[in-house]
Chains A and B, each alone.
Chain A
């Protein structure tokens, strides 16, 4: 495959044709913040946290779904980007009910970590305080819509790693939500194999193992990487 040469944060690098800016940035040692991206499944550009500046392009582009081009000049960090990223994080907090103090993921949450790394000391937007429920009908797992950021990682692992197709999205905008099959309680699903991949994939406290209490929900993302690596590269090693 042809290689493309480009600069990321002033560093000249070469990347495979078809690689995303996000993939290329790893080589350049630039750490772009991501939330909906998950190693091993395709990207959808849902969260917009990975926005970068590309010289000559007036709008900001998501690094996870933009492929590299010859001569591209990418900036992954700037005052403007940091301002937008913090804004995105604040909107995520305002849109649902995040009460870290009583959340299963407190201390192990990607949203929470990104928030403090972006200097989010408070949320400037009015909280919506929507009324969302919790689906605790599954024998092994729980789904708390209050903590869901609609990144669709669970949907993608369920369809494309497990191949079960249990998790889906219904509705639009702030009313969008993760559903089971054609919107039935999770516990009644025949398609769910109880593999738990969605729980491993979730960046927040939305999906958890039943019985975990505040701060207890830690995930082992290595398990997903192991499966993907084994399937795609026929390498049976844990990704570490």
Chain B
């Protein structure tokens, strides 16, 4: 039986690179690979992308214990390096990180989801709970929110009946002191009157029809009054957000922006949609919903990956592998009574001595838990190393949250880490392996 479509997939083909994982790190790695004309194959289920808020954090908090928020992410990274941290950022130059972001942003923008960032500054973004999150790179659709917040301009937050994940009232009451011009209004989304519950993706889909936008705008119009901005939950379409924002702005006469929400979040769907639909035409072979079950290595060093499927197993041969399987949620790391392990390559891990020391005594300890820094240790080429620092395979590269010595959730560096390490890993594959290895030319 053929692999899930690929009109011209040849099972005997030897791929340059296999990306294992389709979270942000995996997707970024695939993008960088196909951009560099590597023949690339990728496996993994939907992953954490769906849950992403759409914001790309670079680095905002360090050290975690002090919860110190940095206005300039680069300064935070510099501080990391100065302290001799083993954080993966310490192995990548600022220029490389910057280029990685630019490459991703330009890709997303050409796919219809533009991003904005300022060179040396984290941006303040209102969250659905009314807190301010500092992040590096925001979708265009959220940009006016940053402006509105900076100006503290009169602003209307629109909330929808039945949308559980979002509360305009909570936002305005939390921010009241700081931003008195913020006002919330709750209305019914067109055609949802009487429903107890509405779901963000459905609203986003509905807004893709102009008639729905018109009827929504008509409901909002009388509430605008003095407001100079209109903030919406992040539901302004999935596939044509830019056009929808522009249309709403025209209808309402003021700039509109989106406020990121808790999962399942629409911007996450947008990212997934773009990765899913734009990468394959660029030459990526996506093995949707397939897991790599096991790995073997040939004498020539190539990896043979056993791709599981319900009906039949398949084998893929690749010259190099980028492992971006994430931590526990993505099942890149598993745990048993003895500790944590990495199930595919059985890589040695940096991890707490014993299970007891996984967590600090206080569950909400601000400094996080040692387990949150566990993972695979790498060399400067992002190749896995053993306890003595020796490279394990010259063609196995690691990217994303599976890496050790980082606590992305608390440091607010998740996507940045995923993107930057994927970039570094792909470039290292080319520079330190492919261009050097005589195996390729042989």
Q: Indicate whether A and B interact.
A: no
